Every structure is written in C-alpha cells, then in structure tokens.
Amino acid sequence: MAQFRVTKYNPRYRDASGAYRPDEWTSISEIGRNFDGVVFTGTDYVRAEKQYVAVADRFLSLLRVETLTVVGLEARLGGSIADLVSVGRRFLALTSIEEGARLRKQEALVCMRYILRELLWCKLVGDDGVFFHFGYDYYMYLGCDADVSKDQLEMPGMFIEPFQSPYFYDDED
C-alpha cells in the first residue's frame, strides 16, 4: 500500500524527532496573526488550501476515482455545516453531508476544504484502498493499494513524503 503525508511544511526544517521547527500557521483560525514578522491573511490561507486540494485532485485523477465515502463524520462547529463559509472571498457550499454519503469527486474536494477549514472532520475512502485523512496542524494523509509514487503527486510549494497515516486502521478502511 502506498501512503503519503502531504503538507506545506518543508521536511528539511524537521528535527531528529520529526517535529517541524519554524513558527508557521497551522490553522485557519490563525488568520490575522503574525508569523515571523508577516501577518497571515485569508488570501494566504486560500492559496495553501488550493494547493492541498490540487494534490488531492491529482491523486484522484491519477487513480480515476470518481466517488469517495464519508466515514467517521464529526461536526466541529455549531450550526449547519451546509451553511456558506467565506474565507478570502471564496464561498463553499455542500447541500448535505452525512455518515456513509457517497460524494462525487467535486463534492469530495469541497468536503476536503471544509475539513481543512475545521468545520468538520471525517475520513474519505474509496475503492481499492483509496483514502484521505486529515490531522491536526494542517496535515493531509492519502493512500491507495495502487503503485503510486510521490513524484506523480509533487507540486510546487507542497511536500509529499512516504508516511503511514496515524488515522489508518485496516479494519475501518
């Protein structure tokens, strides 16, 4: 099984234990905060979010995956998760999302944005061992049973590393 950790964090800045050392934003909630003398903006956030979703889209296209299933859904904020969400003048809406829902590719990509924006959490799983998991501090994990290399997923500004998802359990996915 191929599994990868996808991040905006350059691995050369990790210490011997794997911890990322620079003070860098890790959450949408940090918009407006100062990091190393630079204010983190909604525009900065949307730029990074687009990169994560672009890697996911490339992975799904490479494997010809058209649908993913919602597993382990958890709402993070009060209110309806179907509400419009605005960050950096981008509006997203899913009409509904529930446990076990089969999402078409474009819906799954919007769901990933919701997860990255911390509005909900879930795993997204497909056929042939395909999965997407999201962790704390803006980490995305993906995997499949196919022969996929990190080189096929690389994009400027993103770092793809062979890495087993801490959210992967054989009996669930």
Note down pLDDT in tens along the chain; length 173 residues: 899 999 999 999 999 998 888 899 999 999 999 999 999 999 999 999 999 999 999 999 999 999 999 999 987 654 444 544 555 555 566 666 889 999 999 999 999 999 999 888 999 999 889 999 999 899 999 999 999 999 999 999 999 999 999 998 754 44
Token pair for 118: 């911390």
Cβ neighbours, 10 Å, residue 66: 15
131/3 Cα distance (integer angstroms): 9
State the pTM of this model: 0.88
31/155 Cα distance (integer angstroms): 24
Is the CB of residue 124 less than 8 Å from the CB of residue 113? no
Token pair for 88: 């950096």
pLDDT digits (tens, 9 = 90+) for 20-31: 888 999 999 999
**Element of type H or E holding 46:** helix 42-63
128/1 Cα distance (integer angstroms): 10
pLDDT digits (tens, 9 = 90+) for 29-69: 999 999 999 999 999 999 999 999 999 999 999 999 999 99
CA nearest neighbour of 55 among 151, 129, 168: 151
